Amino acid sequence: MIRLSDIHFRDPFILPVPVENTYYMYGTQGATAWDGRPEGFDVYRSCDLLNWEGPFPVFRPEPGFWSDHHYWAPEVHHVKGRFYMFASFKANGMSRAVQVLVADHPMGPFELHSLGPITPRAWECLDGTLYMEKDGTPWLIFCREWLQVTDGEIYAAKLADTLDRIISEPQLLFRASEAPWVKPNDDGGFVTDGPFLHHMNNGRLLMIWSSLGEQGYTTGITRSVSGRITGPWVHEENPLYDEDGGHGMLFRDWYSNLLLALHAPNHNPNERPSILRVEESADSLEAK
């Protein structure tokens, strides 16, 4: 058994599977996050969020797979009995893109589900997440990278029920610089990373996402005024976490506690998964 402090992961995503009394944690392999050719994606598992087993391989690309570096931010969602992984990939001469994989079990093996990238081919895109409306309509929420547009953007596009392609024009939700806590990076760009949607107990729809703030990598909160994914979106003044940690997601443990998983600090090779308790107030979230 190992602890979170022993796991070199960025972008942790934790999938609770109650029938197995098991939490599955996916993420970006820290050793090849920026340089080198990744092996694929791995998973760790735990029954108590303290002691973990792994890593176990869940995706290894077949020869000829189009991407050869930057295997980032795998998220796994359980939909209609199958497990769908949304992950970011990159190759020289091709735009960074989100592609969908699928498996019959959280341990994989995950196989390609979409025929190729599902984000616009000419756009540099990353960090796709799945959002299901109350009527069951699936949406892909993703970032368009600051490297291409300077002021990073977050978009929403409807997905086919098969979750293998988008079926609507992407709709711009907001730009990074609109949030009051966001600061430009050294190149003058504004980063958008890691969107994740959360319905509060009172029905409000929130999104957490990451950029750069006063203390480094920061996770902020924005709220949909309409309660729908199309917004409009209003940014909270105070971030959820501002101590150089981010690319977060929210989940509930076996006791219905709301928890935030993110990586901190945001400096290779020191980044590690962290789990924090979160409480809902009348209007927002607070990390404890």
Phi, psi of 5 (to 5 degrees): -65, -15
pLDDT of the chain along its 288 residues, tens only?
A: 999 999 999 999 999 999 999 999 999 999 999 999 999 999 999 999 999 999 999 999 999 999 999 999 999 999 999 999 999 999 999 999 999 999 999 999 999 999 999 999 999 999 999 999 999 999 999 999 999 999 999 999 999 999 999 999 999 999 999 999 999 999 999 999 999 999 999 999 999 999 999 999 999 999 999 999 999 999 999 999 999 999 999 999 999 999 999 999 999 999 999 999 999 988 899 998
Residue 283 has what pLDDT? Answer: 82
β-bridge mates for residue 23, sequence order: 16, 46
Residue 288 has what pLDDT? Answer: 87
Residue 9 has what pLDDT? Answer: 97
What is the distance between the alpha carbons of residues 88 and 66, in angstroms, rounded to a whole number? 12
Residue 282 has what pLDDT? Answer: 81
Residue 88 has what pLDDT? Answer: 98
Element housing 77 (H / E): strand 69-79
The amino acid at residue 109 is P
Q: By the 8 A CB rule, do 135 and 119 touch?
A: no
pTM for the structure as a whole: 0.97
Closest CA to 75 of 24, 138, 6: 24
Scan for tokens 């290894």, then name that residue: 60
What is the distance between the alpha carbons of residues 161 and 143, in angstroms, rounded to a whole number? 21
Closest CA to 282 of 179, 200, 180: 200
3-state secondary structure of 202: coil
Degrees, nearest 5: CA angle 287-242-222: 70
Sign of CA dihedral 167, 173, 176, 182: negative
What is the distance between the alpha carbons of residues 263 and 276, in angstroms, rounded to a whole number? 11
Cβ neighbours of residue 93 closer than 8 Å, sequence gap 6 or more: none
